[in-house]
């Protein structure tokens, strides 16, 4: 306040910043990454629309990798722990994050989930994001790789409709390909064309968790990424709860 | 509708800066939202009107500047404008491009109101 007349004189100061708006989330994502790296864990963020078959694929994946990698899963859903229960039935640890009304996982939620898991001896961590092709794309979690699923009942132009999600994917899985025989309007080649139009060189793999088609390609991709991320191919890993 | 979460992150940061500078209040906030940022400017603006209540920015206008998409072509080395769902090089048509602008979600500036020291 001015001492001469008592008026409240103020100054407006313009402060130039130019800093990422989600800096706090990014910092927490970096913290998660350090935490994962310290334990030699590769983490994969699975994203897709609801009902694209993320949980079914994870069930097939953890079963196929039994004895090769100790796996764990973080499940993100608005409500219920149904998905975590499905994973646990296979003897694999799973942490359920229920977001309430939030349409995406963020680094803070994942940080809490990591503290509920025994990371020592773990090789592969899958984070199944909330089913949504929009919001999860904006929030880094600290995972090493992003995998985006699109099922054959959704339409082969999904990458063009959701460019923010698909342009950063490290791998695109076209799921439920066992249904292609009854569909006349889905071409896997179109998915790949749309992914390339986003400047993205990510492999596009057709897969069916039901018949096992493409499962080997997906597992080999995971093995290759593990070598790239962890720097070892055959790090001895315990089958969770046994060795 | 993750714009509210983005907005809360924005307001947390704005308030932190205002407090650090001993500002009485915030007069204006400016952000840059690229077409590929995954944030809808209109929804962000509406979320902001609600979320700013009770903060030091309760009277601060939010200015959102857009940022058109530009890509660098790794094949021919040119930079060109592109559309969000078609990030091809406009010069040679190659898809091996890198986005160099248009994916920003950036806090550009704040205007802080500070009491004059007598």
Nearest to A42 by CA among A199, A171, A184, A230: A230
| Residues 6+ positions from B82 with CB-CB distance below 8 Å | B69, B70, B71, B88, B90, B97, B99, B102
When pLDDT is cut at 50, 70 and 90, the band that residue A6 belongs to is low
Residue B116: predicted pLDDT: 84
Please name the member of A22, A167, A199 whose beta carbon is closest to the beta carbon of B6: A22
State pLDDT tens for residues A40-93.
Answer: 999 999 999 999 999 999 999 999 999 999 999 999 999 999 999 999 999 999
Q: Which whole number is the average pLDDT over A177-187?
A: 96
A42 strand-pairing partners: A124
Return the H-helix or E-strand segment holding A33.
Answer: helix A23-38
- ipTM comes to 0.90
Q: Does position A240 have pLDDT exceeding 80, yes or no? A: no
Give me the percent of chain A exceeding a pLDDT of 70.
92
Half-sphere exposure at residue A48, Cβ-oriented, CA atoms within 13 angstroms: 25
Q: Does position A99 have pLDDT exceeding 80, yes or no? A: yes
| Contact criterion met (CB below 8 Å) for A159 and A209 | no
Q: Does position A234 have pLDDT exceeding 50, yes or no? A: no
State pLDDT tens for residues B46-105.
Answer: 999 999 999 999 999 999 999 999 999 999 999 999 999 999 999 999 999 999 999 999
Chain B residues with CB under 8 Å of A100 CB are: none
Please name the member of A22, A135, A194 whose beta carbon is closest to the beta carbon of B105: A22
Give the CA distances from residue B35 to residues A123, A200, A224, B4, B92, in Å, rounded to whole numbers and listed in that order: 37, 17, 33, 18, 23
CA B15 – CA A20 distance, rounded (Å): 15
**Angle, alpha carbons A43-A49-A55 (nearest 5°):** 50
Nearest to A121 by CA among A233, A41, A227: A41
CA B115 – CA B32 distance, rounded (Å): 28
When pLDDT is cut at 50, 70 and 90, the band that residue A242 belongs to is very low
When pLDDT is cut at 50, 70 and 90, the band that residue A230 belongs to is confident
Contact: A13, B71; criterion CB under 8 Å: no
| Contact criterion met (CB below 8 Å) for A59 and A80 | no
Neighbours of B116 (CB within 10 A): 12
Nearest C-alpha in A relative to B73: A199
| Contact criterion met (CB below 8 Å) for A74 and A126 | yes
State pLDDT tens for residues A139-173.
Answer: 999 999 999 999 999 999 999 999 999 999 999 99
CA B85 – CA A162 distance, rounded (Å): 8
- A243 to chain B, closest Cα gap in Å: 43
| Residue B86 sits at the chain A interface (C-beta within 8 Å) | yes
Contact: B108, A17; criterion CB under 8 Å: yes
Residue A205: predicted pLDDT: 98
Probe site for chain A from B2, B90, B99, B117 (most A CB atoms < 10 A): B2
Q: Does position A236 have pLDDT exceeding 70, yes or no? A: no
B4 Cα distance to chain centroid: 14
Which CATH number is B2-112's, of 1.10.274.10, 3.30.470.20, 3.30.2320.80, 3.40.50.720?
A: 3.30.2320.80
This prediction's pTM:
0.91
Probe site for chain A from B1, B4, B5, B78 (most A CB atoms < 10 A): B5
Residue A5: predicted pLDDT: 66
Contact: B2, A134; criterion CB under 8 Å: yes
| Residue B38 sits at the chain A interface (C-beta within 8 Å) | yes
- B16 to chain A, closest Cα gap in Å: 12
- B46 to chain A, closest Cα gap in Å: 17
Lowest mean pLDDT among A209-213, A230-234, B51-55: A230-234
| Residue B63 sits at the chain A interface (C-beta within 8 Å) | no
Residue A238: predicted pLDDT: 39
Contact: B2, A139; criterion CB under 8 Å: yes
Q: Does position A37 have pLDDT exceeding 70, yes or no? A: yes
- Secondary structure class of A55 (helix, strand, coil): helix
When pLDDT is cut at 50, 70 and 90, the band that residue B118 belongs to is low
The residue ranges of every structural domain in chain B are 2-112
| Contact criterion met (CB below 8 Å) for B71 and B40 | no
Contact: B23, A13; criterion CB under 8 Å: yes
Contact: A12, B27; criterion CB under 8 Å: yes
| Contact criterion met (CB below 8 Å) for A22 and B39 | no
| Contact criterion met (CB below 8 Å) for A121 and A236 | no
Residue A231: predicted pLDDT: 78
| Residues 6+ positions from A184 with CB-CB distance below 8 Å | none
């Amino acid at each position: 306040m001015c001492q001469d007349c008592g008026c409240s004189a103020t100054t407006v100061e313009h402060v130039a910043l130019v800093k990422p708006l989600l800096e706090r989330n990014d910092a927490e994502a970096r913290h998660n990454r350090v935490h994962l790296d310290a334990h030699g864990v590769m983490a994969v963020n699975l994203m897709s629309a609801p009902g694209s078959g993320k949980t079914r694929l994870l069930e097939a994946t953890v079963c196929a990798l039994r004895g090769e990698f100790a796996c764990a899963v973080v499940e993100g859903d608005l409500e219920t722990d149904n998905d975590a229960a499905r994973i646990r039935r296979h003897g694999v640890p799973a942490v359920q994050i229920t977001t309430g009304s939030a349409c995406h996982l963020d680094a803070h939620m994942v940080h809490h989930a990591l503290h509920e898991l025994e990371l020592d001896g773990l090789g592969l961590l899958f984070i199944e994001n909330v089913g949504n092709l929009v919001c999860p794309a904006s929030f880094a979690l600290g995972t090493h790789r992003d995998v985006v699923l699109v099922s054959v009942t959704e339409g082969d132009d999904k990458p063009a409709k959701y460019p923010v999600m698909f342009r950063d994917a490290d791998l695109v899985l076209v799921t439920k390909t066992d249904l292609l025989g009854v569909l006349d309007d889905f071409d896997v080649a179109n998915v790949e064309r749309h992914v390339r139009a986003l400047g993205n060189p990510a492999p596009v793999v057709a897969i069916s968790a039901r018949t096992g088609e493409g499962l080997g390609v997906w597992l080999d991709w995971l093995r290759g990424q593990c070598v790239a991320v962890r720097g070892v191919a055959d790090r001895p890993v315990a089958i969770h709860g046994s060795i | 509708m993750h714009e509210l979460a983005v907005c809360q992150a924005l307001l947390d940061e704005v308030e932190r800066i205002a407090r650090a500078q001993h500002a009485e209040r915030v007069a204006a906030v400016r952000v840059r939202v690229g077409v590929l940022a995954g944030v809808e400017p209109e929804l962000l603006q509406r979320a902001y009107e609600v979320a700013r209540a009770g903060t030091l920015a309760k009277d601060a206008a939010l200015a959102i500047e857009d940022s058109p998409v530009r890509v660098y072509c790794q094949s021919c080395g040119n930079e060109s404008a592109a559309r969000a769902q078609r990030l091809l090089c406009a010069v040679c048509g190659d898809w091996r491009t890198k986005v160099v602008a248009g994916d920003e979600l950036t806090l550009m500036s704040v205007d802080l109101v500070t009491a004059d020291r007598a």
